[in-house]
Amino acid sequence: MTTPPAHPQPPPPGGVLWSLAGDVRGLLMLPAALALQVAHPAVGAGVDEHSVFRTDPWGRGERSLRSLQLWVYGGEAAAEEGRRLRRLHGAISGTDTRGRPYHALRPETYAWVHATGFPVQHHALRYLVRPMTPEQERQLYAEWLRVGRVLGIRDRDMPQTVEEFWPYYRRMLAEEVELTPVVRDLVATGDPLPPPDRGPLPLRLLLRPLWPLVWPRLARFRAFVTVGFMPPDAREAIGLEWSPAQERRLRRLSRVVRAVVPALPERLRYLPLARRARRAHRRGRDAGRVPLTAGDRPVR
């Protein structure tokens, strides 16, 4: 097991993640990141055997999304959330799909779960926002390392530069990832899912009778964005199919998203926790007469 870093600090307000992590476009990237995580045999086995994602999918999704937001926007609560996650994973162990013993907090396993977010964002941003400059790429990775420290990942367990990250990532694709049962579940379109049991009551009541019609379309869309926003080399390593026709559809969807989302008001563009944190930061900055810096400008 790892020894968590002392007093980890989340990414700074006004940074790249401050603009990206709470943007609703992130919801389109999350399925690909999750699939890449669970393509690791140990991670997939841990989720398969210990997670409630099949029995409580909506609750599991809501808790995961809130946790992710806390890593970036939680301030002092970010480190406590990291400690909570480590306590939660402390009892998760077993045997993976290759017959190897695993523990959720084994450094190389825990680091992979976190590491997958970077290549997925790096790839998906080209579609949903714009390609990053080398400077933005380095800044995003540096901030991703800060999130890793919040989660209790030691610096020696993660590549410390972008240049070191890509060989590590390619080695993991070549040696570790596979089409695990959980990945199959995430790209399946025929498995039933119950209607949402949380969210606004009127919406839940509306969806309940329509769910047999809504869910098959939603399942196909989930599978589409899961595979589409996964980096092509990861897609190939896992064994997920992707056609030129699907790529054209993804590019059409992305053009619409790129045009619509930046035009939305902040209350629609950002998730609630991110929206509150951004508002509080602006108020504090204005009260202190802190000038706007280049880092405060969102990546659009």
DSSP for residue 270: B
Q: Which of 147, 142, 186 minimizes the C-alpha distance to 164? A: 142
Give the count of alpha carbons within 13 A of 137, CB side only. 16
E strands in 81-151 = 93-95, 101-103
Measured CA to CA, the distance from residue 217 to residue 9 in angstroms comes to 41
192 confidence band (pLDDT: 50, 70, 90): confident
Segment 208-212 shows an average pLDDT of 92
Q: What percent of the chain has pLDDT over 70?
A: 93
Segment 118-122 shows an average pLDDT of 97
E strands in 53-146 = 93-95, 101-103
Q: What percent of the chain has pLDDT over 90?
A: 74
Q: What is the pLDDT of residue 14?
A: 85
Residue type, 176: E
Task: Write the DSSP assignment of 137-179 as a string of letters.
Answer: HHHHHHHHHHHHHHTT--GGGS-SSHHHHHHHHHHHHHHT---
Q: What is the pLDDT of residues 233-292, one digit of tens each?
A: 999 999 999 999 999 999 999 999 999 999 999 999 999 999 999 999 888 865 553 333
Q: What is the pLDDT of residue 296?
A: 34
Measured CA to CA, the distance from residue 42 to residue 103 in angstroms comes to 8
Measured CA to CA, the distance from residue 195 to residue 52 in angstroms comes to 16
Residues composing the chain: 300
Q: What is the pLDDT of residue 291?
A: 34
User: 193: left (phi > 0), else alpha (psi -120 to 50), else beta?
Assistant: beta
61 confidence band (pLDDT: 50, 70, 90): confident
Between 14 and 297, name the one with better pLDDT: 14
> Taking the model in full, what pTM does it have?
0.89
For the chain, give the mean pLDDT.
Answer: 90
User: 7: left (phi > 0), else alpha (psi -120 to 50), else beta?
Assistant: left
Q: Is the pLDDT of residue 297 over 50?
A: no
